[in-house]
Amino acid sequence: MKSNFSEWTLDKIDDAFGTVQVDNIPELDELLAFEYEFNDYEKRYLTTLADKYLHFGGDDWNEVELENKFISPLIVFADIDNKKFAYFLERELTGVVGEYELTGKVDGMIASGYRNPRKPYFCLKEYKRQTDPNGDPRGQAVIAMIVGQHHNNDSKPVYGCYIVGKSWHFMVLKGKEYAISNVFVGSDNEIFDIYRILKGLRVHIERLM
C-alpha cells in the first residue's frame, strides 16, 4: 500500500506499526544534556539570528523564508557536514515497512554520504509558520524516522526534530518506542540550547557509524 509522509499522524503510526510514545529514552536524554562551551563569535551570531527572527517578522515567514533565514543558517553554523555524513535538504526518502510503501520529501536530514544521502540518522520536518500550521508535523517526522530506521536495519536510535516557526522539538526513535522533547524556542536564549544540541547531534551520529 503506497502512502505519503503527509498522510501520517502519531495515532495512525502507532496503530499501523505498534509504536509507543514514551516519556524518556536514554539517547534523547543524553542528547539534550550535551555540554558545549560557546566562543564569543558563536554567542554573537546566535544572538543576532534570534533577534532577526523576533524583530523581523519571523512568525509570518513562509516556508522558504523560515528555511533560508533561520533553520539552515543555524544548522549549517553547527558545522555538521563532513566526508562521512552531511545535512541534506528536500531529498526524497522511501522504504517498504510492513505492508506500506512509504515515500515523501524530507525537509532536512543528516545521512551518511556527502554528495547524496544514504543511511538517514536524523530527520527534520518544518512547518511554514508559528500560526495555523496544517497537518501533523510530529507524525510526519516520526514516519520519516521509521523509514530511516528501516534503511539502517538495526536497533540503533534514529534522531529527529520538528519545527513550527520558532519552536523546536527533538525526538528519538529506538525500536518501537519514540520520545519527544519539550519545546526549545529559537527566538530567545534557548537558541543556545538548540545549537548546543545540534553540536551534540554530530557527536552522537559519529557513535552510530
Domain map of the chain by residue range? 2-208
Q: Looking at residue 129, what is its pLDDT?
A: 59
Q: How far is CA 142 from the centre of its chain?
A: 10
For residues 22 and 174, what is the distance between their CA atoms, to the nearest angstrom? 11
Q: Looking at residue 126, what is its pLDDT?
A: 85
Q: pLDDT below 50 — which residues of the chain?
A: 131-132
Q: Looking at residue 136, what is its pLDDT?
A: 84
Q: Looking at residue 134, what is its pLDDT?
A: 61
Q: What length does the chain have?
A: 209
Q: Looking at residue 127, what is its pLDDT?
A: 78
For residues 22 and 17, what is the distance between their CA atoms, to the nearest angstrom? 15
For residues 21 and 178, what is the distance between their CA atoms, to the nearest angstrom? 5
Q: Looking at residue 153, what is its pLDDT?
A: 75
Q: Looking at residue 99, what is its pLDDT?
A: 94
For residues 130 and 192, what is the distance between their CA atoms, to the nearest angstrom? 20
- Find out whether 83 and 98 touch, Cβ atoms under 8 Å: no
> DSSP strand E in 81-186: where?
85-97, 100-112, 120-127, 158-164, 167-174, 177-180, 184-185
Nearest to 127 by CA among 93, 94, 167: 167
Q: Looking at residue 128, what is its pLDDT?
A: 65
Q: Looking at residue 154, what is its pLDDT?
A: 75
CB atoms within 10 A of CB 187: 20
